[in-house]
């Protein structure tokens, strides 16, 4: 096969740029647009991209492809000479006309503000607070419905899309950068305040945050795909296991709890741990287990989650913050034990047991 043909072929890519994923999420979130354009085509500087989704059994799988653009032709020698004359004349004007035009030279060389590679200043609120939309995120607390309102901005989402995660030798530092971004923090703190305003009891604030994140739709794509920031999960209203776990970890930290994330390397899965009394913790980790991909009872770790199946390996515990212990989680632990017992009884349940099963499902917002 010739090299020319290789360059024009579509190639599967597991790690597309963030801007491609953001455009894909916007396209996927609009069923009308997606029905008219079942395949998304995007044009980049060096590559064209194609995005398709596969929906089977309630799971969504993303497929990204890219194709190299044809090489651009060289600039004719005459054009190069003309540009050289223009630049020389421009520099003479700068020298004779003073320093006011120096910034113009810098703009000509470096490109407009915001271009990659430029040492730009932090974005202003005017830059960030564009494209506002108000979103109500539902949650369930002791069987009762509630919602948390949040004002999300396209400008913040777009800014964070340019903040590519850095590589670190230490895994803790890698994941911590997703919850420590200063711009994100400026806007996510309000969500934590809204949770406090919705529930006055501190432990119920934690329960509301857990349920809210669990109810955000789960999207399945390869675990080695770079994670989105927690703000992206809120803006696009979907996320995978690590992204939703990082969002919940951020919120629990802001609510004052000791929190960690559990990285199950063998199953390629992530969950959240909240500081709790030892008898309610996951193994010897010091943290109680919380699944984020779907509504389930905190401390219940016997399910099959996010395409990972049952969790059998020992997770790496990545501490996000020190803080308070969730002392009242004994209630969830008791309910989780009963839920696990009922799950082991098969499909045929007597009336009393089915009533308990239904009550627990409604109590925690689980389908049944």
Closest residue by Cα to residue 311 from 285, 346, 341: 285
Least confident of 83-92, 258-267, 279-288: 83-92
Tens digit of each residue's pLDDT (9 = 90 or more) over 303-318: 887 666 789 899 999 9
Q: What is the pLDDT of residue 193?
A: 97
pLDDT (average), residues 7-36: 74
Q: For 177-192, what is the mean pLDDT?
A: 95
SS3 179: coil
Q: Which residue has the tokens 């399945």?
A: 220
Q: Is the pTM of this model over 0.75?
A: no
**Contact criterion met (CB below 8 Å) for 214 and 291:** yes
Tell me what the mean pLDDT of segment 25-38 comes to: 77
Query: What average pLDDT does range 27-52 have in this prediction?
Result: 77
pLDDT, tens digit, 9 for 90 and up, residues 226-274:
668 999 999 999 999 999 999 999 999 999 999 999 999 988 899 999 9
- CA 288/CA 29 separation, integer angstroms: 33
pLDDT band per the 50, 70, 90 thresholds, residue 129: very high
What is the structure's pLDDT at 182?
A: 93
Q: Strands 132-141 and 144-153, how do they pair?
A: antiparallel
DSSP symbol at 308: S
Predicted local distance difference test score (pLDDT) of residue 4: 29
What's the pLDDT score for residue 56? Answer: 67
Mean pLDDT over 191-202 rounds to 97
- Give the residue ranges of DSSP H helices in the chain: 3-8, 18-28, 31-36, 77-97, 102-110, 125-128, 154-161, 171-176, 182-198, 202-215, 230-236, 241-254, 330-343, 351-363
The domain limits of the chain are 3-68, 127-363
Minimum mean pLDDT range among 154-163, 168-177, 187-196: 168-177
Q: Is the pLDDT of residue 104 over 80?
A: no
| CATH 2.40.440.10 fits domain 127-363 | no
Over range 25-31, report the average pLDDT: 79
Residue whose C-alpha is closest to residue 344's, from 302, 312, 298:
302
pLDDT at 93: 41
Contact (CB, 8 A) for 249 and 204: no
How far is it, in rounded angstroms, from Cα 70 to Cα 41?
17
């Amino acid at each position: 096969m010739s090299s020319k043909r290789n360059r024009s072929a579509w190639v599967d890519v597991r790690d597309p740029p963030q801007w491609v994923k953001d455009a894909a999420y916007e396209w996927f979130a609009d069923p009308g647009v997606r029905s008219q354009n079942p395949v998304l085509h995007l044009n980049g500087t060096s590559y064209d991209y194609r995005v398709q989704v596969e929906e089977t059994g309630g799971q969504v799988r993303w497929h990204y492809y890219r194709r190299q653009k044809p090489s651009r032709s060289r600039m004719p020698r005459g054009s190069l000479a003309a540009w050289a004359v223009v630049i020389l004349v421009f520099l003479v004007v700068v020298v004779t006309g003073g320093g006011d035009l120096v910034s113009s030279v810098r703009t000509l060389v470096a490109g407009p503000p915001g271009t990659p590679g430029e040492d730009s200043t932090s974005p202003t609120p005017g830059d960030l607070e564009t494209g506002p939309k108000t979103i109500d995120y539902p949650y369930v607390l002791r069987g009762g419905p509630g919602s948390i309102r949040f004002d999300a901005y396209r400008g913040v989402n777009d800014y964070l899309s340019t903040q590519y995660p850095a590589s670190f030798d230490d895994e803790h530092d890698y994941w911590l950068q997703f919850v420590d971004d200063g711009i994100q923090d400026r806007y996510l703190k309000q969500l934590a305040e809204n949770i406090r305003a919705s529930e006055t009891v501190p432990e119920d604030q934690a329960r509301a945050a857990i349920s809210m994140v669990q109810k955000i739709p789960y999207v399945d794509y390869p675990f080695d795909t770079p994670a989105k920031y927690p703000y992206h999960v809120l803006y696009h209203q979907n996320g995978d296991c690590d992204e939703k776990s990082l969002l919940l970890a951020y919120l629990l930290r802001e609510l004052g709890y000791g929190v960690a994330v559990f990285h199950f390397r063998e199953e390629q899965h992530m969950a959240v741990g909240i500081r709790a009394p030892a008898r309610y913790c996951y193994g010897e980790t010091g943290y109680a287990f919380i699944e984020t991909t779907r509504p389930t009872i905190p401390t219940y770790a016997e399910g099959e989650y996010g395409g990972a199946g049952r969790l059998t390996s020992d997770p790496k515990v990545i501490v996000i913050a020190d803080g308070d212990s969730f002392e009242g989680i004994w209630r969830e632990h008791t309910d989780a034990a009963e839920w696990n017992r009922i799950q082991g009884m098969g499909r045929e349940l007597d009336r009393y047991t089915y009533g308990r099963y239904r009550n627990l499902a409604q109590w925690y917002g689980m389908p049944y």
